[in-house]
Amino acid sequence: MKVIQHSKEALQRALISNSTELTKLYNKYTEQERRFLEEGYNAGQPGSLFQNITVHSESDWIPAHPEQPQDFESFYRDLTRKTPSANHNTIYIQTIGSFGEARPQTDQYVEWLREYCQVFFHGVTVKLLPTVTVFCVFISRKPKDAFCIIGITMIDLYPKDSWNFVFGQASLSSGMGVFSFARYDDNFYRSYAGRLKKQQKLKKDDYSVFDGYYIPTISSTLLLRSSKTMTHEIGHMFGIRHCQWLSCVMQGSNHLEESDRRPLDFCPICLRKLQVAIGFKIADRYKVNLIKCGAACHSGPELPKLTQDFYSSKLWLQKCLTVLQSDL
């Protein structure tokens, strides 16, 4: 295992930049907010709020995809990035296809995800669209006030062995993405019976090939994994690229084990990107997040109890708020 440890100077440049304009903008944060964001410099030290990225094998994202890390300045100056506006301020979640037989459980699950995204992207509205059965309908529907639209499905999107599987695909330019949670269930690899039995010629718009596919049950692990994927992929819609600075939900992931290692929230550098795009007060975002994570253990009679990660997240959010709200 290798720890990626950036120097304090490198993290400072990534967070604040050397530009006078961006330093001025940074100085508009309150002293508490700055102290909190600069907690990132202490990554790896005992009691630190943020951790360093660890690389466990050559198949992890960073060794497999060498790319220029995106610091705050390159994000800020990226002309292609999208910012919510008064007329485009809604993130839509569109469920596609069947989510299994337990309809009430599915509805609660999707509503739970919606609420989770709502607190995570504090300041924009997150709404659900009525379920559609096929992808082509999804593609043609984009409400006028949409900042982006995220399609989610339990159908495995890559049913052929030769298709390198991914958990989702997002297009920043169109503000649309579609993600499958089928492989987020631990039983997927054990009991998956949905592979194509033989090569079939598909007619355009014929999705019957997906009939009878394995649909995972809604488990706490599925909730955790899908929460991370949703927020990661929506983060891309804002133009936030894969994080190479600190342990962060925006880290790229090549495999399930690597995505499981990601924390639920942003590092300070990615947080500043999101804050500039949406304009929330940092403490307010953590407060609503804390309420959501605190309520996670009472997530409704149909949903399973959430994993330890949400409890740890609750404690972490409390610590963040202590820094953000303490007198200097």
Give the residue numbers annotated as catalytic, written as ranges. Answer: 233
124 binds Zn ion (CB under 5 A): no
Stretch that binds Zn ion, among 118-126, 154-162, 192-200, 238-246 (CB under 5 A): 238-246
Stretch that binds Zn ion, among 21-29, 160-168, 177-185, 262-270 (CB under 5 A): 262-270
Which three-class secondary structure state does DSSP give residue 98? coil
267 binds Zn ion (CB under 5 A): yes
Shortest Cβ distance from residue 11 to Zn ion (Å)? 11
Shortest Cβ distance from residue 276 to Zn ion (Å)? 14
243 binds Zn ion (CB under 5 A): yes
Residue with tokens 């936030």: 240
Any idea what DSSP says for residue 307?
P
Shortest Cβ distance from residue 39 to Zn ion (Å)? 13
Question: Which of 159, 296, 291 has its CA nearest to residue 224?
Answer: 296
Shortest Cβ distance from residue 72 to Zn ion (Å)? 10
What is the spatial distance between Cα 17 and Cα 175, in angstroms, rounded to a whole number? 28
Give the residue with the Cβ less far from Zn ion, 105 or 275: 275
Cβ(132)–Cβ(138) below 8 Å: yes
Among 22, 157, 215, 270, binds Zn ion (CB under 5 A): 270
Burial (CB < 10 A; 0-12, 13-18, 19+), residue 307, is middle
Query: Count of CB atoms within 10 A of residue 299's CB?
Result: 19
264 binds Zn ion (CB under 5 A): no
277 binds Zn ion (CB under 5 A): no
| Residues whose CB falls within 8 Å of the CB of residue 195, separated by 6 or more in sequence, listed in order | 159, 160, 161
Positions that interact with Zn ion (CB under 5 A): 243, 248, 250, 267, 270
